Amino acid sequence: MLYITLFFNAFVSATLLPSSSEVVLATMISQAKANLWLLWLAATSGNVLGSCVNYWLGTHVLRFKHKKWFPVSEQGIVKAQSQFKKYGVYSLLFAWLPIIGDPLTVIGGIFKVRFSVFLLLVTLGKGVRYLVVIALAIGLDKII
């Protein structure tokens, strides 16, 4: 149950909904005798799957760009495309960053990044992030 809870928390954290899977992961490490690799796998796979949902949404979102309620102007779309072209597909390695990471995964879908490339880059970035969180949580746990 521990791993499933972490998976779903990490999934929600990767969508545009607010959540903090790093705090949940660190708390689970400090309070439970759990397999660190399974915690890493649950967090990484949940978070990557959430990013895949964002990618999928991105592939469909522009069909609504002429609606009054659409949250991004035509200028905003052009600016995002320009920035994405400037920094390239490798900017998806930073999909783990707060605030800009989730929109990056949507932009990856909007601009039709090849899904295999998207998946590889996002998984690398998010997997490394959770390894760092685990390393810090283990270190902090030993200090306390």
pLDDT of residue 128: 96
Residue 48 CB burial class (10 angstroms; 0-12, 13-18, ≥19)? buried
pLDDT of residue 141: 53
pLDDT of residue 140: 62
Q: What is the pTM of this model?
A: 0.87
CA 133 to CA 27: how far, in whole Å? 11
pLDDT of residue 142: 58
Q: Using only C-alpha atoms, what is the Rg of the chain? A: 17
Give per-10-residue mean pLDDT for the chain (144 aa). 93 83 90 90 97 94 83 81 85 90 90 96 97 88 52
CA dihedral 129, 15, 73, 77 (to 10 degrees): 50
pLDDT of residue 16: 66
pLDDT of residue 61: 87
pLDDT of residue 47: 96
